[in-house]
Each structure stands twice: as structure tokens, then as C-alpha cells.
């Protein structure tokens, strides 16, 4: 493996991690807001608060890790994407700020406000939508050079069917991932009302999630035939992913082994995302930027990888402790403890 | 909006975000240490008051951290959005500490979540205290790593530029640049100092408002002692920072001191105003600048006459320098008086006017942080990477920076109002007296 490939793999894993943990967070916020609207707040609020409040900062660091890491490993990304993404990334930042401040002011600070809860829920859908634009842009065709400066063609971007199918996919995926995880969590917490409701959501969003994923393939075929062709080369990854999807929906349908169902779902997204990434390789931005022509100096690359390994040695035990205390501790899950400062 | 105004608005937005973030960041670095010390004193002496102190500080702390995370995420991404050319170079040479910083964040965030939600969960309270250690370490290390990046901007090294290409990159040499030791030490010491004075201000405010509970008196004495220790440290390290500047960034020191001509036996200018190139109403301390710069009253100090006009930073940083040093020395004496006075039983340290000064000390310390950063950053101008890349060459070419500036300004306004409201509500609705009673503590 070359340094470039190691670098992009590390970033890829953290991006995948972010997509999973953030989807749970975003979707939960949305379900919470939705149930507040429909007068069922009490059903979900507890489950959501108990799981999300201790971990949201960790979720956020995954994102920070990704964007700091990509500039470290592939500095040219800063000058290409940095210029182009000013507006979409700033909007995403503002939305992320709304979420962060919701935790600060409402969960920790005790402010109450229905409108705030709704805003928070809505931001959970808008953030994936605005972040997913980056994936669309990376497919090429929306960025051009004019007088030496890079410009983003907003008109083309917002009228492209590819953009919208990626946006819709990000939304359905967020809701599906989140519903499956929370169904499992609610069962562990022995909260049968929340479990029943969330299971309904999970089944409801399974179909749209898989349909929109298939839709992307169709759009890509028209938009970026090269990428599409490479995706077909690794068709078996996507087929395997579909198999896992079927199995996890089946388990949820049968109300069996939600934990396994969630793991299968994680596998499903892992494979699909891996297939997508593999076929995107080596491009970071079609057709301007590949991981090879944008890689950092060799010494820096090695230093970053060493730092990464050292960091992991610190991180994995800590994450294990966090999950043991909050995710797999029966007393905490069932709300028998309230040890908040 | 043209390219020139892109630079202008990018600067404004960077200044705004960093100036806002630094308030929360400073508290985020210093307060965990204070909580740790209070909880440790409480456990060691079996004193419930200190433990409650730690617990109440934690509640406020998580709110400032959350806003710090939000604004920090913004600045982290904005650096690439607004200064893409700089970040491309930085990515090649100084990405290592930035990358390590994210691990420090991870570490801190994980243990903060655990610490916050495990009060009274362990039979042995020392175990709970132990969980705070990684929070304090993580917070301080994120300050260390980010300050290393900033030190690199002031004293870049660890690479060569040959025909516009970066070669011979050495990340460790870049990290351990000459600016790094004083900068890191000063930033850490002032963060601890500021946090101590902010917490002291809260305790003094409670006492002023008529509460006579010993809880507040204990809190005040503890924080003022810590404030004293860290303000002495800050002043000493600040003096070393001056010596660093004299050797490696003489133009910044000369601009901050209005030292126009290179000379021996240089005197230090305090205060004063600059009108038409003339310094008026100033206080001159003979030999003091030579001492600050070289520890020798006779030493020669380089003046602005040695630099081309376009390489000289704005001269208004002199005022910022004065603000920082005045507040620093003032707080040092305030806490010294308080500690000696309490020890000796002097009455005036419990008087209303003295407590009002302590309340003022909290905001002033934060003001000193702002002044210090503004002096350091504006004093680096016109360079973003001193001697290598000018600020105007580093900025984005995007034409929407002005709109983003408005958006973020509105966001920070809301965050500021929100955090002030929440923090004041939290402590007003749940006074210490009531909480102590609820926990079965004694009344006074
Ligand atoms: C509570 C805040 C505070 C206080 C009381 C002081 N400082 Fe400070 N100072 C800072 C907060 C600060 C800072 C915010 O942390 C800075 C900005 C950038 C940096 O590295 O640290 C700084 C920078 C800074 C620099 C510039 C370093 C550089 O640009 O590389 C010098 C020369 C001093 N300080 C000197 C002093 C002296 C002689 C003080 C005497 C009391 C003093 N500071 C008190
Ligand atoms: C790693 C640390 C830091 C980096 C990479 C960094 C980066 C930058 C950049 C890119 C600019 C714009 C160029 C300019 O206008 O000068 C700047 C300026 C500035 N930064 Fe820093 N900064 C760092 C730390 C800080 C901190 C912690 C503060 C605290 C508030 C700060 C305050 C400022 C201010 C006030 C300016 C405006 C100076 C001017 O435009 O005249 N910086 N910095
Ligand atoms: C010396 C000045 C600074 C100090 C002391 C400081 C410290 C902190 C602290 C304590 C936090 C909260 C971290 C947490 O609890 O997770 C934070 C957040 C953050 N800071 Fe700063 N910061 C400084 C300047 C900067 C600058 C210049 C940048 C830009 C590169 C930056 C980037 C960030 C980011 C990305 C976060 C969010 C991390 C997260 O999601 O946990 N900071 N900072």
C-alpha cells in the first residue's frame, strides 16, 4: 500500500464513522421534533436524551477529524474545495451550531422551547443535505476555472438531478439508520412504547432508503460514466450490501435480535460506501484532483500515520469505556441512574 | 465584491470567529484544572463544600465547552475556506499538530461525557476525580497543539522553498520553532489565570449580593490563590515572550513599544498617544525596554528604522500591549493583596469596594486575553507566515465572504446571548444554600 492509499483509507474510515454516528444523532433529533409536533414527545424524548447527550461532542469530533485530516494528508484539497465550498460549508456550519447550542442550552442548560426543538430537528435533515453536496461536487462537472480562479456553477448544481438524488438519499439513509439503532436502544432500555414506534419508523424508511440508493446509480450513469463503469466492476460489493439489507429488515420485521439487525445495517452501509469509495478512487475531485497529485510531503505523510496509530491506542480504550458506561450499562439505559452533574 | 474585498472580509470573519472562540476556549482550557483542584481539596479534607463547588462549576463548564466546540468547528473549517493557499502550505508543513489536536479533542470529549454523567456513581469518589484528569489533559493539549501552529506562523521553519516547491519538510523542526516555548507557556498560564479570576468573580458577586455562606468564601480564597500563582507565572513568561520577540520578531516588539530608532539604553514607553508620528503624554521608564528585550539595561534594541515601510505592522498594537500588561499587573496585585489580607485578617479585603474590584477582574482577564491575541496577530501583519507568505496572497477568491460574515455575526450574537442567559438562569434558579440543604449539608 502506498502512503496515499493509507491516508485516504484512514480518512475514509472516519468519514464512515461520522456518517453512522451522526445519522443516529440527526435522525433522533428529527424523530424527537416530529413526535413533539404530534404530541408524543414523552415516548421518545427519554431514549434520545439518555443516548445522545453524553456522546454528541464525540460525534462532532469525527467530523473535525475528517476535515483536519484531509487537509493534512491532501493539502491541495484546501485550495480546491476551500474556495468552492465557502457557501455550502458555511451553511452547514451554522446548522451544526444550531444543534450544538441545542445541547448546550436545552439539554444542559434547561431552557425549554418548542420552537427550538423543532429547529433542532429540522437541522438534522438540513445538515446531511448540505454536507452531501460535497459528494455531488466531487463527481465533477460543477467546478470550472475562470481567470485562474475556481468557481462553482450553482445553477448547474441545483438543477442537476444527481444533486437531488444524493440529497434525498442522505435524508432517507439518516432516518433509516437512526430508526434501526434507536429501536435496538429502546429495547435495551425496556421502553416498549418507544420500541414499537421506532420499529415502525425503521420499516417505513427501509424502502425509500434502498430505492434512492439505487437511483443514484442511474443518475451517475448519465453524469459520470467513468465512475459508473468502475462501480459495475465492483458490483459484488453492492450485491452483498443488498443481502445484508434484506436480512436486517427481516429481523426487524420479525422483532428479533435488533442488535444483530443494526450490525447488519452497519455492514450494509460499510460495503456500499466502500464500493462507492473504491470506484471513486483515485479522484478527490473529478477531473482536477487525485490522491496522488495532491498528497502531502512524504515525511509529513509518515508523521501523520504514526500520530494516527498512537492516537488510536489512546482512543479505542476510551471509546470502549464510554460505550460500556452509556450504551451497554443496563441500569443507565433503563434510567435507573441519574448521575448528571 | 472583488478580490481585494475578499481579503478584507476574510480577515474580518477570521478575527470575529477567533475573538469569539477564544473566550470559550480559554475557559475550556482553564476551568477543568480548577474543577480538579476543588474536587481534590474536597475529597482530601472531606469537605462537602469543595465537592459541590466542583459540581456546580462542571454544570457551567459543559455549556461553555459546547459553545466552544461549535465555534471551534467553525474556525477549523473556516481556515480552509477563507485561507486556502495558506492551508495548502500549512498542510504540507504543520499539519501534524493540527491533526494531533483532534485526538486531544477526542480524548477530552469522551471523558467529559463520562465525567459529567457519573456523579455519585462510584463508591470511591477518587475514581470519579480520576476521570477528570484526561479532560484537563486533553483541554490543555488542544491549546498546546493549536498554539504550536500559531507559533509556526510567527517563526516558520522546517522546510525550504526551491523554485516555488516545498522541499526538505521536517514536521518536528516546524513544530519546535523558536516561538513555540514562550507562546505555549504564556497561553497556558494565562488561560489558567483567566479561569481562576472568572470563577473568583462569580464567588465575589455572590458575596456582594448578600450571601454570607462560607461556601462562597472558600471558593473565593481558593480561586484567588490560584489566580495569584498563575498571574505571577504569566508575567514571568510574558517577560520571556518579550525576549523572544526581540530576537526573532523585532519589528513586532518595536511596533508594540513605539521604538522607532535602534538604540542602546532603550527606555520603555507606557501609555501615551501617537499623533502625527509624535508620541505624547507617555510615561518613559529608562532602560526598561533594554531589560525587557535582553535582560541588560545597556543592550541595543532594534527599532522600526531597520524595516521597509511595507513590512511594519500597524502601530496601534501599542495600546493593546498596554492593556494586556496593565490588566496583568493589576490582577497580580489584587490577588496578592487579597491573599495576604485574608491571611493577616485585614478588614478591607471583605469590603464591598474590594469585592467589586474582584468581580471586575473576571471580565478584565478575558479582555486581556483578547488584547494579547490581537497584539500578537496584528503584530504579525503584513505576513500570515512571517517572511514567507503575505496575508493578501493567502485569502480565498470567492466573492461571497461578506454575506457569510453577516451570517456568522448573527450566529455569534445568538450564541452569546444564549450562553449568558442559560448560565445566569442556572445559578439563579438553584442557589447554593438550597442545594446544600437538599444534599443534607448544614445551614448557615
Ligand atoms: C490574561 C491574559 C494575559 C496577561 C495578563 C498577559 N498576557 Fe501576554 N499574551 C496573552 C495574554 C496575557 C495571550 C492572549 O495569551 C498572548 C497572545 C498570543 C500569545 O502567544 O499569547 C499574549 C502574548 C504576549 C506577547 C507576544 C508574544 C508573541 O507575539 O509571540 C508578549 C511579548 C506578552 N504577551 C507579554 C506579556 C507581559 C510582559 C505581561 C505582563 C504582565 C503579559 N503578557 C500579561
Ligand atoms: C493555530 C492558531 C491560529 C491560526 C492558524 C490563525 C490564523 C489566522 C489567520 C489565517 C489570520 C488572517 C490573516 C490576518 O488577517 O492576519 C489571522 C489573523 C488573526 N488572528 Fe489568528 N490564528 C490563530 C490563532 C489565533 C487565536 C487563538 C486568536 C485569538 C483570538 C487569533 C486572532 C486573530 C486576529 C485578531 C487576527 C486579525 C489580525 C489582522 O487581520 O490584522 N488568532 N489568524
Ligand atoms: C490558543 C487558542 C485556542 C485554544 C486554547 C483552543 C481551545 C479549544 C477548546 C478547549 C475547545 C473545546 C474542545 C472540546 O471540548 O472538544 C476547542 C474547540 C475547537 N477548537 Fe479551539 N482553541 C484555540 C484556537 C483554535 C484555533 C485557531 C482553531 C482552528 C484551527 C481551533 C479549532 C477548534 C476546533 C475545530 C474545535 C472543535 C473541536 C471539537 O469538535 O471537539 N481552535 N478549542
Residue range B284-296: mean pLDDT, rounded: 84
B326 lines ligand 2 (CB under 6 A): no
Residue range B174-180: mean pLDDT, rounded: 90
Residue range B80-102: mean pLDDT, rounded: 87
The verdict on A294 touching B (C-beta cutoff 8 Å) is no
Q: Where are the beta strands (DSSP E) in B221-335?
A: 268-270, 273-275, 278-280, 283-285
- The minimum CA-CA distance between B91 and chain A, rounded to whole Å, is 5
Query: Which own/partner contact pairs does B330-336 have at CB distance under 8 Å and 24+ positions apart?
Result: B330/B364, B331/B193, B331/B197, B331/B227, B331/B231, B331/B361, B331/B364, B331/B365, B331/B368, B332/B228, B332/B231, B332/B232, B332/B235, B334/B358, B334/B361, B335/B197, B335/B200, B335/B224, B335/B225, B335/B227, B335/B228, B335/B231, B336/B228
User: Cα A36 to chain center, whole Å?
Assistant: 24
Residues of A in contact with B89 (CB under 8 A): 75
The verdict on A311 touching B (C-beta cutoff 8 Å) is yes
B20 CA to middle of ligand 3, Å? 11
Tell me if A138 is assigned to some domain.
yes
Q: Are B62 and B116 in contact (CB under 8 A)?
A: yes
Confidence band of B442 (pLDDT split at 50, 70, 90): very low
Residues of A in contact with B83 (CB under 8 A): 82
Whichever domain contains A227, its CATH number is 1.20.1630.10
- The minimum CA-CA distance between A109 and chain B, rounded to whole Å, is 6
Q: Are B59 and B426 in contact (CB under 8 A)?
A: yes
A residues 127-186 closer than 8 Å to B (CB): 149-150
A74 CA to middle of ligand 2, Å? 23
Inter-chain touch B81–A82, beta carbons under 8 Å: yes
Q: What average pLDDT does the structure give for chain B?
A: 86
Q: What are phi and psi of B213, to 5 degrees?
A: -65, 140
Residues of B in contact with A53 (CB under 8 A): 117
pLDDT tens across the length of chain A (341 residues): 788 888 888 888 888 888 888 898 888 888 888 887 777 767 677 777 777 776 777 888 888 888 888 888 888 888 888 888 888 888 889 988 888 888 778 777 667 777 777 888 888 888 888 888 888 888 877 888 877 777 888 888 888 888 888 888 889 889 999 989 988 888 887 788 888 888 888 888 888 888 888 888 888 887 777 778 888 888 888 888 888 888 888 888 888 888 888 898 888 888 888 888 888 778 877 778 888 887 888 888 888 888 888 888 888 888 888 877 776 666 666 665 565 65
Residues of A in contact with B109 (CB under 8 A): 57-58, 60-61
User: Is the per-residue pLDDT at B274 higher than 90?
Assistant: no
What is the secondary structure of B113-133 as a DSSP string? HHHHT-TTTSSSHHHHHHHHH
Residue range B387-395: mean pLDDT, rounded: 80
Q: What are phi and psi of B384, to 5 degrees?
A: -95, -35
Residues of B in contact with A93 (CB under 8 A): 73-74, 77-78
Q: Are A133 and A163 in contact (CB under 8 A)?
A: yes
What ipTM did this prediction achieve?
0.83
Residue to mutate among B398, B413, B428, with most A CBs inside 10 A, is: B398
- The pLDDT value recorded for residue B259 is 81
Inter-chain touch A96–B73, beta carbons under 8 Å: yes
User: Is the per-residue pLDDT at B106 higher than 90?
Assistant: no
Inter-chain touch B101–A60, beta carbons under 8 Å: no
User: Is the per-residue pLDDT at B443 higher than 60?
Assistant: no
Q: How many CB atoms lie within 10 A of CB A59?
A: 20
d(CA B183, CA B177): 10
What is the secondary structure of B46-113 as a DSSP string? T-HHHHHHHHHHHHHHHHHHHHHHHHHHHHHHHHHHH-HHHHHHHHHHTHHHHHHHHHHHHHHHHHHH
- The pLDDT value recorded for residue B364 is 94
User: Is the per-residue pLDDT at B163 higher than 80?
Assistant: no
B19 lines ligand 2 (CB under 6 A): yes
Nearest Cα neighbor of B258 from B311, B317, B299 is B317
Alpha carbons within 13 angstroms on the beta-carbon side of residue B344 total: 10
C-alpha cell at B357: 474590584
Q: Which of B66, B77, B81 sits opposite A103 (nearest CB)?
A: B66
d(CA B53, CA B59): 10
The verdict on A6 touching B (C-beta cutoff 8 Å) is no
Domain residues for A245? 3-333
- pLDDT tens digits, residue range B324-344? 999 999 999 999 999 999 888
More confident call, A140 vs B323: B323
User: Cα A193 to chain center, whole Å?
Assistant: 27
Residue range B26-55: mean pLDDT, rounded: 90
- The pLDDT value recorded for residue B3 is 59
Nearest Cα neighbor of A65 from A13, A100, A107 is A13
User: Is the per-residue pLDDT at B129 higher than 60?
Assistant: yes
Number of compact structural domains in chain A:
1
B85 lines ligand 2 (CB under 6 A): no
- pLDDT tens digits, residue range B227-247? 999 999 999 999 899 889 888
B159 CA to middle of ligand 2, Å? 22
Nearest Cα neighbor of B144 from B181, B95, B91 is B181
C-alpha cell at B380: 504579525
pTM for this prediction? 0.88
Inter-chain touch B70–A300, beta carbons under 8 Å: no
Determine the 3-state secondary structure of B283 from DSSP.
strand
Residue boundaries of the structural domains of chain B: 3-244+317-438
Give the pocket of ligand 1 (CB within 6 Å).
B 154, 179, 183, 186-187, 190, 193-194, 234-235, 238-239, 241-242, 245, 252, 324-325, 327-329, 365, 368-369, 372-373, 376, 379
Cα dihedral sign, A29-A33-A34-A40: positive
Tell me if A338 is assigned to some domain.
no
Tell me if A104 is assigned to some domain.
yes
Amino acid at each position: 500500500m502506498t502512503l496515499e492509499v493509507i491516508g485516504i483509507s484512514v480518512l475514509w474510515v472516519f468519514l464512515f464513522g461520522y456518517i453512522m454516528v451522526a445519522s443516529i444523532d440527526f435522525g433522533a433529533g428529527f424523530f424527537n421534533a416530529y413526535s413533539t409536533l404530534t404530541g408524543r414527545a414523552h415516548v421518545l424524548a427519554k431514549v434520545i436524551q439518555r443516548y445522545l447527550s453524553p456522546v454528541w461532542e464525540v460525534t462532532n469530533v469525527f467530523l473535525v477529524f475528517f476535515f483536519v485530516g484531509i487537509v493534512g494528508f491532501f493539502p491541495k484539497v484546501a485550495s480546491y474545495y476551500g474556495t468552492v465550498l465557502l457557501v455550502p460549508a458555511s451553511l452547514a456550519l451554522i446548522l451544526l451550531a444550531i444543534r450544538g447550542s441545542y445541547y448546550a442550552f436545552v439539554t444542559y442548560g434547561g431552557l425549554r422551547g418548542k420552537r427550538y426543538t423543532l429547529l433542532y430537528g429540522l437541522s438534522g435533515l438540513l445538515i446531511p443535505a448540505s454536507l452531501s453536496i460535497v459528494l455531488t461536487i466531487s463527481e465533477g462537472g460543477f467546478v470550472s476555472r475562470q481567470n485562474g480562479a475556481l468557481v462553482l456553477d450553482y445553477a448547474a448544481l441545483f438543477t442537476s438531478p444527481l444533486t437531488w438524488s444524493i440529497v434525498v438519499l442522505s435524508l432517507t439513509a439518516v432516518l433509516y439508520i437512526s430508526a434501526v439503532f434507536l429501536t435496538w436502544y429502546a429495547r435495551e432500555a425496556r421502553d416498549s412504547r418507544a420500541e414499537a414506534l421506532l420499529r415502525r419508523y425503521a420499516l417505513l424508511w427501509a424502502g425509500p432508503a434502498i430505492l434512492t440508493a439505487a437511483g443514484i446509480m442511474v443518475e451517475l450513469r448519465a453524469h459520470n460514466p467513468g465512475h459508473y463503469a468502475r462501480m459495475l466492476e465492483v458490483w459484488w460489493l453492492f450485491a452483498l450490501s443488498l443481502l445484508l439489507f434484506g436480512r436486517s429488515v427481516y429481523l426487524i420485521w420479525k422483532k428479533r435480535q435488533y442488535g444483530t439487525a443494526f450490525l447488519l445495517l452497519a455492514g450494509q452501509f460499510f460495503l456500499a460506501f466502500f464500493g462507492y469509495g473504491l470506484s471513486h478512487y483515485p479522484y478527490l475531485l473529478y477531473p482536477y484532483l487525485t490522491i496522488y497529485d495532491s498528497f502531502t510531503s512524504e515525511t509529513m505523510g509518515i508523521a501523520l500515520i504514526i500520530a494516527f496509530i498512537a492516537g488510536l491506542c489512546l482512543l479505542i480504550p476510551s471509546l470502549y469505556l464510554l460505550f460500556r458506561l452509556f450504551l451497554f450499562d443496563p441500569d443507565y439505559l433503563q434510567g435507573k441512574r441519574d448521575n448528571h452533574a | 465584491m472583488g478580490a481585494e474585498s475578499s481579503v478584507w472580509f476574510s480577515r474580518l470573519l477570521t478575527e470575529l470567529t477567533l475573538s469569539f472562540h477564544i473566550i470559550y476556549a480559554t475557559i475550556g482550557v482553564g476551568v477543568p484544572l480548577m474543577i480538579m483542584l476543588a474536587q481534590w481539596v474536597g475529597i482530601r479534607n472531606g469537605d462537602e463544600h469543595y465537592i459541590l463547588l466542583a459540581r456546580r462549576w462542571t454544570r457551567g463548564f459543559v455549556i461553555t465547552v459546547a459553545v466552544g466546540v461549535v465555534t471551534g468547528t467553525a474556525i477549523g473549517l473556516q481556515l480552509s475556506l477563507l485561507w486556502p493557499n495558506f492551508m495548502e502550505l500549512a498542510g504540507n508543513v504543520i499539519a501534524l499538530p493540527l491533526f494531533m489536536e483532534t485526538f486531544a479533542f477526542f480524548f477530552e470529549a469522551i471523558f467529559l461525557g463520562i465525567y459529567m454523567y457519573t456523579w455519585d456513581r462510584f463508591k470511591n469518589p477518587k475514581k470519579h476525580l480520576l476521570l477528570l484528569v484526561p479532560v484537563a489533559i486533553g483541554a490543555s493539549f488542544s491549546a498546546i497543539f493549536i498554539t504550536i501552529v500559531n507559533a509556526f506562523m510567527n517563526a516558520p521553519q522546517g522546510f525550504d522553498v526551491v523554485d516555488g516547491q516545498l522541499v526538505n519538510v521536517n514536521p518536528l523542526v516546524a513544530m519546535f520553532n523558536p516561538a513555540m516555548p514562550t507562546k505555549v507557556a504564556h497561553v497556558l498560564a494565562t488561560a489558567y489565570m483567566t479561569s481562576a479570576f472568572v470563577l473568583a468573580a462569580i464567588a465575589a458577586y455572590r458575596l456582594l449580593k448578600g450571601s454570607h455562606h462560607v461556601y462562597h468564601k472558600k471558593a473565593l480564597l481558593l480561586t484567588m490563590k490560584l489566580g495569584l500563582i498563575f498571574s505571577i507565572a504569566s508575567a514571568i513568561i510574558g517577560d520571556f515572550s518579550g525576549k523572544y520577540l526581540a530576537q526573532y520578531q523585532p519589528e513586532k516588539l518595536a511596533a508594540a513599544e513605539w521604538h522607532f530608532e535602534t538604540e542602546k539604553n532603550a527606555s520603555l514607553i507606557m501609555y501615551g498617544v501617537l499623533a502625527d508620528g509624535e508620541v505624547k503624554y507617555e510615561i518613559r521608564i529608562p532602560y526598561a525596554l533594554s531589560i525587557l528585550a535582553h535582560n541588560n539595561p545597556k543592550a541595543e534594541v532594534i527599532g522600526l528604522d531597520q524595516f521597509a515601510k511595507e513590512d511594519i505592522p500597524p502601530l496601534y498594537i501599542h495600546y493593546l500591549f498596554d492593556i494586556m500588561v496593565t490588566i496583568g499587573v493589576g490582577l497580580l496585585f489584587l490577588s496578592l493583596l487579597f491573599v495576604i489580607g485574608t491571611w493577616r485578617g485585614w478588614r478591607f479585603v471583605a469590603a464591598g469596594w474590594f469585592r467589586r474590584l474582584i468581580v471586575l477582574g473576571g471580565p478584565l482577564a478575558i479582555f486581556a486575553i483578547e488584547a494579547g491575541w490581537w497584539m500578537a496577530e496584528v503584530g504579525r501583519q503584513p505576513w500570515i507566515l512571517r517572511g514567507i507568505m503575505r496575508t493578501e496572497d493567502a485569502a480565498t477568491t470567492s466573492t461571497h465572504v461578506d454575506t457569510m460574515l453577516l451570517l456568522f455575526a448573527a450566529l455569534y450574537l445568538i450564541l452569546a446571548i444564549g450562553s449568558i442567559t442559560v448560565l445566569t438562569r442556572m445559578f439563579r434558579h438553584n442557589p447554593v444554600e438550597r442545594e446544600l440543604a437538599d444534599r443534607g449539608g448544614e445551614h448557615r
